[in-house]
Amino acid sequence: NAGVMQNPRHLVRRRGQEARLRCSPMKGHSHVYWYRQLPEEGLKFMVYLQKENIIDESGMPKERFSAEFPKEGPSILRIQQVVRGDSAAYFCASMTSDNEQFFGPGTRLTVL
Amino acid sequence: DQQVKQNSPSLSVQEGRISILNCDYTNSMFDYFLWYKKYPAEGPTFLISISSIKDKNEDGRFTVFLNKSAKHLSLHIVPSQPGDSAVYFCAASGSSNTGKLIFGQGTTLQVKP
């Protein structure tokens, strides 16, 4: 049973470009959480999605960031017009029915 | 507003001794607490959890203690092993907040052989 998969593992973008981060939850999991870890900090919640629905986006920046979890395919975290402050590790987690969250290996975004 | 705090950025212990990692929280609505371990360039790995109806949960070398009145929890690792060297995050969630986890800043544990 493959774990949570994220790709790419490393992503380099220039300021103003778009970044797309993908997350495939564990088989059978339909809940996905996205977290961001800035250097020297803990993980900060961004968004919680179920298939085709955004349940809680209270941690998402109001502009440039969006997330989706379509009926088919991975969850996508999209960052438009990236800035240097977006450089961070982005983790997704999928959740079992008994509320245990399993994390992927993360995508490390570097904005030049 | 840091609702979950780990005030010790780092901890160093000798192999075989006890490691005690501490965590404080401010939100009384939290009712489930977790500890995660993280190696560099990897995602957090779940270690152990505790519900607010309990004050202790033990799993092998790992024990978590919860003091609700003090809004404090701790993770005890005994005996500590060099492979335990990692960053440890405590996290909290509440039944009313959609399951999202609120993380502390992390404590880097170094276990010396």
Beta bridge mates, B5: B24
Give the model's pLDDT for residue A97.
Answer: 67
Beta bridge mates, A11: A109
Cα distance between the two ends of chain A: 37
CA gap A44, A57 in Å, rounded: 12
Instruction: Name the helix (H) or strand (E) containing A91.
Output: strand A88-95
CA gap B88, B69 in Å, rounded: 23
Question: Which stretches of chain A sit within 8 Å of chain B by CB?
Answer: 4, 6, 31, 33, 35, 40-45, 48, 55-56, 59, 91, 93, 95, 99-106, 108
Q: Which of B100, B102, B107 has the most A C-beta neighbours within 10 Å, making it the best mutation to test the interface with A?
A: B100
A-chain residues near B105 (CB < 8 A): 40-42
> What amino acid occupies position A112?
L
* Cβ contact B34:B101 at 8 Å: yes
B-chain residues near A21 (CB < 8 A): none
**Residue of B110, B106, B111, B112 lying closest to B8 (CA atoms):** B106
Backbone dihedral angles phi then psi of residue A85, each to the nearest 5 degrees: -65, -10
pLDDT 10s digits, B31-44:
999 999 999 889 99
Give the model's pLDDT for residue B97.
Answer: 61
pLDDT 10s digits, A58-111:
999 989 999 999 998 999 999 999 999 999 999 999 987 667 789 999 999 999
Residue A91 buriedness (CB in 10 A; 0-12 / 13-18 / 19+) = buried
A21-25, B45-49, B98-102 — which is least confidently predicted?
B98-102
